Structure 1
Amino acid sequence: MSARSLTTRLIAIGGAAVLIGGLTACSSGDSGGSSGGKVEISYLIDNGPATAATAKPLIAAFEKANPDITVKLDTRPQGTDGDNLIKTQLSTGEMADVFNYNSGSLLQALNPDNTLVDLSDQSWAKDVDPQFTKVVSTSKGMYGAPFGTSFGGAIMYNKKVYEKLGLSVPTTWDEFIANSEKIKDAGDVAPIIQTYGDTWTSQLFVLADFANITAQQSDWASEYTDHKEPYTKDPAFAGFDHLAEVEDKGLLNQDYASATQANGLKMLAEGTGAQYPMLTNAISTIQQDNPSKVDDIGAFAIPAQDASDTRLTIWEPNGLYVPKTTTGDKLSAAKKFIAFANSSEGCGIQNDTGTPGGPYVISTCSLPSSVPPMIGDLQKYLDEEKASPALEFLSPIKGPNLEKICIQVGSGISSAAVGAKQYDQDVVQQAQQLGIKGW
């Protein structure tokens, strides 16, 4: 399938935008004016190796095209620790001049109207898919430019392990458990990989199950936002129940408590672990660290109890943002950098240094001619209209402690029921801070 047709199908599903890139960079309209002398700006990214692999050549190319601007690269932790650091730096006026961060509910928690620069007047903004614009905007402005591709939340799996054991892609949760038990019985291969050493990775069984919730109750997100639906009852409770079940049945890798995402992806690529609930943009790390194994990796949606409800959950790309503390020549330089990242050259660097986990969300950027076979697995759900957005793109409510709660449940320390109740309590303060009625 061509990159264009893939893009078209992904954009076609309501709310699930898809492609990033574009626009030739540094016009005066984007830069906000030229700087007189040498300007240094800072760029903050997460500490994932795949993120740095793209950021460094992007900076080098930008500095070559803009010799009067130097970009200093800084890193932050992933997960809750990174979220808290960004909030702290914004509140203390110490935020980098440009930073890469989530779109959707986590962005809304940064109070963007008061902390971020409105980028809606930039020339690349008109080329962004409206669904992405929606998740980086408020009624007062558009605060983010896309960076990276859209991606799914799914079970990434080793196709060679499946082939060796004669397994088929499961369409129900019971089939998934049956596959996992057959892998366990065969020995040597961990059926399900979990990596709680990187705490954020613990959330996938809950967050990537959301499309299955929508399939069963289409208005669940709005009811949840209105405080009328909790996680303590079905259909939402299933994610916590699954998290507890796979640990209780001994289906996890032995080092799940300390393993990191890098460890988990290595296990998956090498076939010492068979299945990994993960965001599919992680394929870029496998491309970087185990390029010969990329074709061995497939993906399927986290199965629902009933096959008719099994859907793929889609995430929008991250955004590039500028804090209001960036002013003058630094602001002009920051806008130039963002425009360059979304230019044809910037998009080409993204394609050359990473592996798409899905399509882009800007019309001026295209996927490379060759993409991992896993992208085709995701496409099937889109072709069959069995995909929908993650909750964070439909509701502003996401509690800060979900990953820690999931680790407790996924380690057998708390029951699924206790974890779900704790998360329902966890979101109350954020909903109240956002001024949402009913909380």
Structure 2
Amino acid sequence: MRFRPLILLAVTGLALSACSAGSLGSSDDEGGGKVALSFLVDNSEDAARIGEQLARDFTAANPDITVKVETRPQGAEGDNLIKTRLSTGDMTDVFQYNSGSLFQALAPQKNLVSLDDQPWVGHLDDNFRTTVSTGGRTYGAPWGGFIAGAIMYNKAVYARLGLQVPKTWAAFMANNARIKAAGIAPVIQTYQDTWTSQLFVLGDFHNVTAAEPDFPARYTRNQARYATSPAALKGFRHLQEVHDAGYLNKDFASAKFDDGLKKLARGEGAHYPMLSSAVSTIVANYPQQAGDIGLFAIPSDDAARNGLTVWSPAGVYIPTSTAGAKLDAARKFLAFIASPAGCASTGTASTPVGPYAVKGCRLPADVTQVAKDTQQYLDRPGGSSLALEFLSPIKGPALEQITVEVGSGIRPAADGAALYDQDVRKQAQQLGLEGW
């Protein structure tokens, strides 16, 4: 299950018309040896803008192929539409959709064209390729960049207090003590928007797999649990520890997401566990302070293995209903998307909030420090890994309520982890997974 509230931070939901005014062709066959592709994207403003830019730039380089951009609803309605059109053979020639578990739900081996014979597949980031592959085959090109689940921090506060970015939890807590002594809230939490409470758990997953590499597989088979895994339990313990130490902003129970970003931007708080895509809101609302905001991975017990948890970009896919000249054109289109030229096209339409998933694609010089900090982790071997939701279909619906309770001192960390293990059991049974 994709964690929609977090991922939707990266885009703005705005319904658009079913097809774009800037489309380059309206018929399937334009004649004269030209091929017209239909391209379906979600109806967010950002997605439509990127789709249009990719279509224009691709056709400029391939004048014998035109691309018509169409849009679909987001959320469950969009999921159902995708599945219905695939099952009836009525899908567009190319379409954009989630990676990870929702991609797996499309029955890729039946409904999508394998891309392993395409040279560009070897240039995909390994984290991304994992999320668009099944049965040893790869089916998607990346749509946009990675998002990190980490700690956004105020670099101006760090500079003023002479602090260094921590890699261990002990160093992080020592920084918090100095920040509190300076009269600044060390850790911002915004529990009025309950979904924001989950980052200490979800963003810590790189550290879980660094300690227990087989945790995702065992977790999916009901052979590992948060309450009994020392590594997985630490995310819940972190929530409890920052609360019990008095390191939270005084209004943590009533503050909302926008309040948290304001406190971070103004230096009223030093750390905010959050998705890196939130920096786009800071850029929009606090442009003068946006340069003060950086990012570091949630610290672990082992500095040598500390790294970043990332959420994969969505994918662009070709349905098996695309054939003949259209299939050849669709392959060329995906090759363009998964190239430095395609990355540049995407960046022209929408300022990147995180690193691209194609080797050789570099972020523009004027991106945020948050994006640059994220890139450094992806560039380092072993410096990043996927969030659990891309490695297992199991995610209980009550996590955000449980993390609010633990982070508010209402429920001990161990009890919260055990309760969450009960919560995921219900979902695993609904999915019919073995071992549950």
Given the two structures, how large is their TM-score scaled by the length of structure 1? 0.70
Change in 2 beyond 3 A, CA 1:335/1:173? same
CA offset at residue 152 of structure 1? 3.3
Q: Quick check: 1:281–1:356 contact (8 Å CA) kept in 2?
A: no
1:56 is matched with 49
Q: 1:230 Cα shift?
A: 0.8
Percent identity reads 42
Inter-partner Cα distance in structure 2 for 1:198 and 1:41: 35
1:312-351 equivalent positions in 2, closer than 5 A: 312-321=308-317, 341-342=337-338, 345-351=341-347
| Inter-partner Cα distance in structure 1 for 2:227 and 2:357 | 34
TM-superposed deviation, 1:175:
3.2
Aligned residue number for residue 9 of structure 2? none
Structure 1 residue aligned with 2:199: 204
Equivalent residue number for residue 186 of structure 1: 182
Question: CA separation in 2, counterparts of 1:379 and 1:361?
Answer: 10
How far does residue 136 in structure 1 lie from its aligned partner after superposition? 0.8
Are residues 1:44 and 2:42 paired?
yes
376, 386, 390: which is aligned to 1:390? 386
Quick one: structure 1 residues 305 and 291, their matched pair in 2 at CA, closer, same or farther if it must change by over 3 Å?
same
State the alpha-carbon separation in 1 of the partners of residues 305 and 232 from structure 2.
13
Across the two proteins, how many residue pairs are aligned to each other?
Answer: 394
**Structure 2 residue 229 is matched with structure 1 residue 231:** no
Out of 169, 174, 179, the position equivalent to 2:165 is 169
Q: Aligned AA for 1:62? A: A
The alignment partner of 2:316 has SS state of: strand
Query: Where do 5+ consecutive residues of structure 1 fail to align?
Result: 1-30, 77-81
- Decide whether aligned partners of structure 1 residues 130 and 384 sit closer, same or farther in structure 2, where only a CA change above 3 A counts: closer
What does 1:241-280 correspond to in 2, within 5 Å?
A: 241-248=237-244, 249=246, 251-252=248-249, 254=251, 257=254, 259-260=256-257, 262-280=258-276
> Residues 89 and 61 from structure 1, CA distance in 2 versus in 1: closer, same or farther, beyond 3 angstroms?
closer
Residues 148-182 of structure 1 deviation map (CA, whole Å, 9 limit, x = unaligned)? 22343321111101222333322332332343344
The 3 A distance-change label for structure 1 pair 359 and 421 is: same
Q: Is the Cα–Cα contact under 8 Å of residues 360 and 366 in structure 1 kept in the other structure?
A: yes
**Residue in 2 that maps onto 1:35:** 29
> Compared with structure 1, are the counterparts of its residues 133 and 300 closer, same or farther at alpha carbon in structure 2 (3 Å cutoff)?
closer
Name the larger-Rg structure.
2
Instruction: Tell me if the contact between 2:186 and 2:247 (Cα under 8 Å) persists in the aligned partners.
Output: no
2:216·2:388 contact (CA, 8 Å) conserved in 1? no
* Shift in Å, 1:341: 4.2
TM-score w.r.t. length of structure 2 = 0.71
Q: Displacement, 1:185? A: 4.2
Give the structure 1 partner of residue 217 of structure 2. Answer: 222
CA contact under 8 A between 1:192 and 1:273: conserved in structure 2?
yes
Displacement after TM superposition at 1:44 (Å): 0.9
- SS of residue matched to 1:361: coil
| 1:391-414 Cα distance to aligned partner (Å, 9 max, x none) | 437732431413443344334454
Question: Cα distance, 1:359 vs. partner?
Answer: 3.2
Change (3 A) 1:352 1:114: same
Letter in 2 for 1:274: A
Change (3 A) 1:69 1:306: closer
- How far apart are 1:236 and its partner, in Å? 0.9
Return closer, same or farther for 1:362/1:40 CA change in 2, 3 Å cut-off. Answer: closer
Residue 156 of structure 1 aligns with an amino acid whose one-letter code is M
RMSD of the alignment, in Å? 4.4
Code of the aligned partner of 2:42: L
Which stretch shows the higher mean deviation, 306-315 or 128-137? 306-315
Structure 2 CA distance for partners of 1:338 and 1:404, relative to 1, 3 Å: farther
Following superposition, the deviation at residue 332 of structure 1 comes to 9.9
- How many angstroms apart in 1 are the aligned matches of 2:364 and 2:290? 15
